[in-house]
């Protein structure tokens, strides 16, 4: 959704429909864009994008002026995009799921933030911040268990 194609009057990625079974995109003209091999010398370290195109159909396509200013249209797809699609499908089936999730996690994070003085972490470097956060979460969980079970049953469970 970050492309400037819409501002220039060109088709956006939303106009191309992905078919997971056949592993290709269908363009607005009805042509199929298939996965092409990316040159290894142009591929960045950790680049996990597949490139889809149709070299022959783009050459004499009537919709080409609305599709791309270049010779052919290429559509990029993250190799793990299927995970995002599955998540979006679940959210479409259960629109209240994010509202419930937000309510569930906001209380612990709000509490932790208040304990920390509604400020930043006191340590530096990722390893130390992870440790600080882990200690905060441990303290939060211990306080919750004391509230739910009480001190006696909690100590008995720890000893067991």
36 - beta bridge partners?
51
Percent of the chain's residues with pLDDT above 70: 92
Nearest residue to 66 (alpha-carbon basis) of 17, 11, 27 = 11
Give pLDDT, residue 43. Answer: 62
Q: Tell me the pLDDT band of 1, cut-offs 50, 70 and 90.
A: low
Q: pLDDT digits over 6-64, tens only?
A: 888 889 888 999 998 999 999 999 999 998 876 655 666 666 888 899 988 888 899 98
The neighbour count for residue 128, using CB atoms within 10 Å, is 12
153 - beta bridge partners?
none
CA distance 123 to 105: 24
CA angle 98, 102, 106 (to 5 degrees): 170
Q: What's the mean pLDDT when you consider all of the chain?
A: 85
Q: pLDDT digits over 56-70, tens only?
A: 888 889 998 898 888
């Amino acid at each position: 959704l970050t492309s400037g194609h819409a501002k220039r009057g060109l088709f956006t990625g939303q106009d191309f429909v992905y078919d997971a079974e056949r592993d290709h995109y269908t363009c607005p003209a009805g042509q199929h864009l298939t996965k092409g091999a990316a040159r290894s010398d142009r591929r960045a370290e950790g680049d996990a994008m597949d490139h889809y195109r149709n070299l022959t159909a783009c050459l004499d396509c009537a919709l080409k002026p609305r599709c791309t200013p270049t010779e052919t249209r290429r559509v990029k797809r993250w190799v793990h995009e299927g995970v995002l699609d599955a998540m979006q499908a679940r959210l479409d089936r259960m629109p209240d799921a994010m509202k419930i999730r937000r309510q569930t996690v906001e209380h612990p994070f709000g509490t932790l933030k208040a304990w920390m003085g509604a400020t930043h972490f006191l340590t530096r470097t990722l390893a130390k911040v992870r440790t600080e956060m882990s200690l905060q979460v441990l303290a939060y969980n211990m306080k919750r268990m004391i509230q739910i079970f009480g001190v006696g049953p909690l100590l008995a469970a720890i000893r067991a």
